[in-house]
Chain A
């Protein structure tokens, strides 16, 4: 029978299936960070259990780490304790830990692919919802809770029921300055934040095939914002080229055997999808969000929605609440909205390609007087690469802060956060109330759009810059 890529990876990892359909799925790769793991390791200690496969587990601190003055350690005591706890747990249980000053340290979802820890056809989990990022390699990757982190540490398996298959077909060619971020924002705008609940989404079509691995990671990263725990993109020559020679990628004869296997992964002709969504990339404008949910997407040419025109009462209340929080008036042109801050980084858009695009936009220009802008590379290796290319100098000359790697203001667990009422053009993934700091107002955009807004002081159509 014709199978989807999700069906194939699922079948290849099935350890046990109960009569009621509850399955035990084998986990090949487990990424661990400091925020969602302490209670899991504590659970192991309390029950006298060990980590079953330390070699399949990789730990790195990213959420709490400072992005400046790092050599002085972590000033915030709770943050410091959490990072030290991860280091101790990794040591006690024999798990490899990339410490804060290690050049390989960074946001866990950027580190995995860079190290070749992320491989096609594998199952990958992490106590973090943006684990969906790794689906860009044709890996079944999703976020789990801390109880499940403990379960995977102890058993290298996960109790699961199978999700349904959804296909997101993105046809056509992206116009200039319209990016992978705009594709995924368009998808979420189309299906809504619950549209993918209960599904694994596979992205196909020529616009997806044309994306770089960095762009594919951006798309899969935000699958969770569309409600799907996992997103998938079929591995191809770009995938293999990206992985070849990475520290943990297979070598020699293993590499050839692995590539031969990876080529069997793509969805079979005629495989059944429970739901299909089609999108035309060639008509996409640059997009941004106006509200407090990632589905609140609008074109840069558009205006803030008018709640008085919404018939459904619950939806109207929801829009009114979002506009009040965001401090926006209905029908305001998006290009008239001024910003105070710009944040470029995160597991969504903190990779080298993102920083290159930002540098192109801002070269020889200056950040607007009333804007504070920062670039936080996704990992030490991204930072090093950018510095080798001289991108840091371009950014600093334009007035951007050039920081150390980490999650930073995507979720504001470290010192990087918005103040009450501040408005930010952010390349991250969530615009929830308080996400980037209590009372902070987040507009999700592509790196190019964030860069252009930082220079102009308000949102602009990056195609016209």
Chain B
């Protein structure tokens, strides 16, 4: 996984509540056996007509947001299906940061495995950033994971929280499996103990 660096970019506003992972990447694109190439189908049914034409007023089709790297969204972003195709599609499109008041648990977790930083903020802070995002390409936002700060176009700073371990893994681009395998002795010891206590498992 690439190391997460500071992101300076355009923020796209998506003021919809409960954006679910079916919206983010509809099921017809889950038939792939690869992780790559899903960005073109991100938000497919909101972004394109049934004939494949762009829907002009969808935010990511507007010229000023086509290269957005940050998404500011409504409450409970990423609810529903556990499909990791959702963060794969988001990352492949080029979005690296998602800001909302709340995220669904599985989606939130999946983001960190794919170099995406989901940031939870208060309603007031999200409202402010949503307004900033509405201003388009003239209003870039800067997100610094190291210092846990967001700088808006008007110079204001918003601090955010992130779990220390997840932050470390994102900054260093660490592979979870590799980290866990360093604890293999503990896993083996656990397995022998458990095998003796609960032989039916």
A and B: interacting chains: yes
Most chain-B Cβ atoms within 10 A of its Cβ — which of A15, A38, A229?
A15
Contact with B along A141-165 (1 / 0, CB 8 A): 0111111101100111101010100
- Give the distance in Å from the alpha carbon of A157 to the alpha carbon of B200 in the complex: 19
Given contacts A18-B165, A258-B200, contact A227 B190 (CB under 8 A): no
- Give the distance in Å from the alpha carbon of A157 to the alpha carbon of B180 in the complex: 8
Residue of B nearest to A248 (CB): B200
A contacts with B, residue count (CB < 8 A): 77
A36 touches B18 (CB 8 A): no
User: A321 interface residue, CB < 8 Å from B?
Assistant: yes
- Give the distance in Å from the alpha carbon of A16 to the alpha carbon of B105 in the complex: 22
User: A352 interface residue, CB < 8 Å from B?
Assistant: no
Within 8 A of B (CB), among A232-272: 250, 254-255, 257-258, 261
- Give the distance in Å from the alpha carbon of A157 to the alpha carbon of B103 in the complex: 24
Contacts of B190 in A (CB 8 A): 15, 26
- Give the distance in Å from the alpha carbon of A147 to the alpha carbon of B103 in the complex: 18
B28 touches A413 (CB 8 A): yes
A78 touches B105 (CB 8 A): no
Contact with A along B152-195 (1 / 0, CB 8 A): 00000000000111000000000011011101101100110010
Contacts of A318 in B (CB 8 A): 16-18, 74
Residue of A nearest to B111 (CB): A145
**Minimum C-beta distance from B117 to chain A (A):** 16
- Give the distance in Å from the alpha carbon of A15 to the alpha carbon of B81 in the complex: 28
B187 touches A194 (CB 8 A): no
Contacts of A456 in B (CB 8 A): none
User: A354 interface residue, CB < 8 Å from B?
Assistant: no
Given contacts A38-B33, A42-B33, A229-B105, contact A151 B177 (CB under 8 A): yes
User: B132 interface residue, CB < 8 Å from A?
Assistant: no
- Give the distance in Å from the alpha carbon of A383 to the alpha carbon of B104 in the complex: 35
A155 interface neighbour in B75, B87, B113, B177, Cβ under 8 Å? B177
- Give the distance in Å from the alpha carbon of A193 to the alpha carbon of B18 in the complex: 8
Given contacts A154-B177, A254-B200, contact A314 B113 (CB under 8 A): no
Residue of B nearest to A429 (CB): B80
- Give the distance in Å from the alpha carbon of A429 to the alpha carbon of B87 in the complex: 22
User: B83 interface residue, CB < 8 Å from A?
Assistant: yes
Contact stretch, chosen from B5-13, B19-27, B58-66, B134-142: B19-27
Contacts of A122 in B (CB 8 A): 201
Contact stretch, chosen from A96-104, A209-217, A341-349, A433-441: A433-441
User: A114 interface residue, CB < 8 Å from B?
Assistant: no
Contacts of B102 in A (CB 8 A): 194, 197
- Give the distance in Å from the alpha carbon of A39 to the alpha carbon of B179 in the complex: 19
B177 touches A26 (CB 8 A): no
User: B147 interface residue, CB < 8 Å from A?
Assistant: no
A254 touches B199 (CB 8 A): yes
User: A402 interface residue, CB < 8 Å from B?
Assistant: no
- Give the distance in Å from the alpha carbon of A420 to the alpha carbon of B49 in the complex: 12
B20 touches A432 (CB 8 A): yes
- Give the distance in Å from the alpha carbon of A81 to the alpha carbon of B81 in the complex: 22
Q: Could you list 14 A-B pairs, sorted by A, with CB under 8 Å? A: A22-B165, A26-B190, A42-B34, A56-B201, A122-B201, A151-B180, A159-B179, A197-B105, A224-B106, A227-B105, A229-B105, A293-B20, A430-B20, A438-B45
Q: Which residues of B contact A (CB under 8 A)?
A: 15-18, 20, 22-23, 26-28, 30-35, 45, 50, 74-76, 79-84, 87, 102-106, 109-110, 113-114, 163-165, 176-177, 179-181, 183-184, 186-187, 190-191, 194, 198-201
Q: Which residues of A contact B (CB under 8 A)?
A: 15-16, 18, 20, 22, 24, 26, 28, 35-36, 38-39, 42-43, 47, 49, 52, 56, 63-64, 76, 78-79, 81-82, 85, 119, 122, 127-129, 142-148, 150-151, 154-157, 159, 161, 163, 193-194, 197-198, 224, 227, 229, 250, 254-255, 257-258, 261, 293, 314-315, 317-318, 321, 411-413, 420, 430, 432-435, 438-439
The list of the 7 closest CB pairs from A to B, nearest first, reads: A250-B200, A147-B113, A38-B33, A78-B31, A145-B110, A145-B84, A143-B82
